[in-house]
Each structure stands twice: as C-alpha cells, then as structure tokens.
Chain A
Amino acid sequence: MNTNLIFLLFIGALVGASSAYLGSFMVLKRMSLVGDALSHVALPGIAIALTFGINPMLGALFTLLIATFAIWYMSEHSEVYPEALVGVFFTASLSLGLLLTPQPELLEALFGNIDKIGLQDGILTLVGAIIIFVVTLIFSKKLLLGVVSEDLAKSQKINISSVNLIYLLLVALVVALGVKFLGTLLTGAMVIIPAATAKNLAKSIKGFHFLAIGFGITSSVVGILTAKFYGISSGPAVVLTAVAFFIISYLIKRR
C-alpha cells in the first residue's frame, strides 16, 4: 500500500467519523434533510473559490456559514417551518452554483474527486475534525436533552437556540470538510446514512454514537479501497457502501 493511499484512507476515515458523529444528533433531532440540503449550499462557495484560485473547502465553508446563520435566524424569528426554508436555500444555491461553477470542474464539485486531495486539505480536515469532536462532546448533554424534551432543557436554563446554532455551524464545517472527498451532492449522505444505520441497531446512546462513527469510518475505507481496486469514482463508492450497511441494518431491525 503506498503512502498516498494511506493518506487518503486517513482523510476518508476522518470525514466519515466526524460526519457520522454529528449526523447521529441530526437523525435524533429529525432534521436529516437539513444536513443533506446544507451540503448543496457549498456549491456556489466552491465556484467562487475556483474563480479566485483559493481552496474550495474554504469557499464552501464561507457560503455554508452564511446559509447556516440565515437558516438559524429565520427559524428563530419566523413562523415558516425551517424545513421549508432549507428547501428554498437548497434549490437557490444549487442553481446559482451550477451557473457559477466552471464547466470542467463541475462534475468534481458535485461528486468529489479524492485524487485531488492534497496535504493542505489533509491538515484542514484534521483540524476541522478535532474541532467537531471536541465541541460536540462539550455540548452533547445539552443537545441530547433538547432531543428528549425542549421544555425540560429550557427549564434547566439551557439556551436551546444557541445550542442549535452551534450545532448547525458544526454541520456546516463537516460539510465543508467533505466537499473535496465526496462533492456537494454526496457529502450530506455521509452525515445521515451511517447515523441512520446505527439507529437501526443501537440500544443506548453510547452504542449509537459508537456504531455511527464505526459505520462512517468503515464506509469511507471500504468505499475508497473498492474505488481504487476497480478504478471507479470514490464518492459514489463510499456512499453506496454506506447504503449497503444501512440496508443490512434495516433487515436486522425488521427481523
């Protein structure tokens, strides 16, 4: 195994683990579509980054953060159900991104290209993943209590609104980490699928997080290896591996 493949597997595992960990809260909060839709907001950011010759991850993070603040603000201050708002953002930014992204790079921006991941991306991913794990761990009790009962959380003076904002910002960060690896259309999948798979099997929160992270890492590693072996595109291979785990977990749950 060459060094480059080990590096790519490491990056894949980091993205898989951090997106699955965050996704495990998203699945509990019943906002799976938010993760998926948010990932599409990355596209215009990538387009801008490509135009100005900066790292696409940073460009994606920029538009993702704007969209996150906007979604959070509107869900706090409007009667419109947030999911509808997210739907509006998603279609608008996907359209805008498609128009702005230079044609040769479009396919890569949409589905990722693991071979284009360099050392700088690796460092960004490592730093991002550490931030995600540390911050999520700090807020995990508050996030969980908010899932079980918002009233109970508020009665303990937990500011649900700021906890939600911090959480959404972390989701924006994880999506930005995944764009080069999986592309804007597929990054959301890695937030949701491993967590949904884990939920089918887990009996406790501890087991749930553990399984989600496990499925996230395994899907990335198996997907990348399969892609390399058969010379196919890695993004879809990773997502389809995750889907295969999901189907198996679903069948086990149904049994």
Chain B
Amino acid sequence: MSELILTVKDLTVKFDKHKILDNLSFDVVRDGTVTVVGPNGAGKTVLFKCLLGIIPFTGEISWVSDAKIGYVPQKLSVAADLPITVLEFLKLKDSDLKKIEEIMAQVGFKQNAEHIHHDMRVLKSRLGSLSGGELQRILMAYALLGDPNVLLLDEPTAGVDIKGEETFYNLFAKLKKDVDLTIIFITHDKEVVEKYADTVIKLNHEH
C-alpha cells in the first residue's frame, strides 16, 4: 500500500445546528489525484476549509509532517479597480522575480519565444482585469510559488470558457508528470473525474 499523506477521521462540521459534514472519513495517498464531487451545498468547499485549518471542526485531520499545501480558491472576487498588479499579487507569496517568471511559464504564460511579451504584459496588468481562465492560472501560479507537494483546487475551471478549461487541464496533466504532487480537487465535470482521478470522494448531503 502506498504511503498516506492525509488521514481524515470522523470529520464533522456544524453551522448552528445544521450538520454540513457528518462523520466523514477518508485517506489520501501520496501523489494521488482525488476528486471531491457532490451537489451544491454538500460541503465540498467546507471540507477544503477544514483541510486548510481555516474553520473549526470536530474529528481528526492529520497531514504528514512534510505536507506543504498550495490552495487555489474557487473564486477570487477581485474588484476590477483594485490597484494591484499580477506581479504585486504574486510577490505577496514570493518576491523572487526569477522564480515568478519560471512558474508563470509553468502555468502556460510563456509557451514559446513569441509569447514572451504576452507573459510580461500579464504581470503588469491589474489582477481584477484578468479573464476567468487567466485568473485561475495566476492563482495556480500563486499556489505553486510556495513549492507545495499538495494542491487543493476548488472548482478550478468554474466560470472559465472551454478553451481556458482545456489549457488548465493540460497544465494539470503536465504538472502531475513534472512534479511530485498530491492533488485534491473539487469538480462537477464527470469527464474530468474519469480522466484524472484515481480516487473519488462523493459528498451527498441530505438536508
């Protein structure tokens, strides 16, 4: 059996008296690809917030000691007039410009020499002016800047057009090949689940 990177036991989350997650238990193996599926309100995002330690829960969540988590949130509602450039945003995580450029290339902003200027333009544009697909890749770059070995992706392609989705999953497949990564992601897309996941966690909350 492969080595485990995460063990979740009897995870329960209550908001008021409402149980969002009820005695959830599962394991994740190192370098596995896990999808979390389920209808809206089933607690998928809540599960992520527990895994990140953002919200209180009962039960047990144990990551191995060397787990370094990168998180890509579902949506970032950045106001269009928020005066922060993509580069300034990425520098909040790591101010090493060379590393930023490398990771920008990794998330597909510099596929070949012709696109070098395109890459630079994105870094200088406002975070709030990006398209859904671009923002998603920038968030991915932000997560990767922390050198994670675990990625938590919350519906990474929600609100992204088909072309953007394709780019994203190509990147996803490439990352899996290049880097040792455990990926846990939320999706509604059955095709994606079949194509990429080796484990599926189904949340089906009865209200």
A residues near B (Cβ < 8 Å) are 28, 141, 144-145, 147-149, 151-152, 154-157, 199, 202-208
Contact = CB atoms under 8 A, between A and B. Distances in A.
Nearest to B71: A155
B182 to A, nearest CB: 16
Interface in B58-103: 69, 71, 73, 76, 78, 81-85, 88-89, 92-93
Contact of A148 (B71, B84, B146): B84
Contacts of B89: 148
B52 interface: yes
A205 B76 contact: no
Interface of B is mostly: loop
B83 A203 contact: yes
Given A141-B92, A155-B69, A205-B88, A148 B78 contact: yes
Contact of A152 (B71, B84, B126): B71
Residue among B84, B88, B146 with the highest chain A CB neighbour number at 10 A = B84
B49 interface: yes
Contacts of B162: none
Contacts of B82: 28, 147-148
Given A28-B82, A203-B126, A206-B88, 16 more contacts: A147-B82, A148-B89, A149-B76, A151-B49, A152-B73, A152-B76, A154-B52, A154-B53, A154-B54, A155-B54, A155-B71, A155-B73, A203-B85, A204-B84, A204-B88, A208-B83
B47 interface: no
Nearest to A203: B83
Nearest to A140: B92
Interface in B177-204: none
A98 B83 CA distance: 39
A205 B54 contact: no
Nearest to B129: A203
Given A145-B92, A149-B73, A155-B69, A199 B83 contact: yes
A152, A199, A203, A207: most-surrounded residue (chain B CB, <10 A): A152
A103 to B, nearest CB: 45
A28 B25 CA distance: 40
Contacts of A202: 83
Interface centre among B83, B85, B142, B146 (most CB of A within 10 A): B83
Interface in B120-138: 126-127
A207 B54 contact: no
Given A141-B92, A152-B73, A199 B84 contact: no
A148 B89 CA distance: 8
10 contacts: A144-B92, A148-B78, A148-B89, A148-B92, A148-B127, A155-B71, A155-B73, A203-B83, A204-B85, A205-B85
Interface string B2-18: 00000000000000000
B27 to A, nearest CB: 22
Contacts of A155: 52-54, 69, 71, 73
Given A203-B83, A204-B83, A151 B54 contact: yes
A95 to B, nearest CB: 35
Contacts of A199: 81, 83
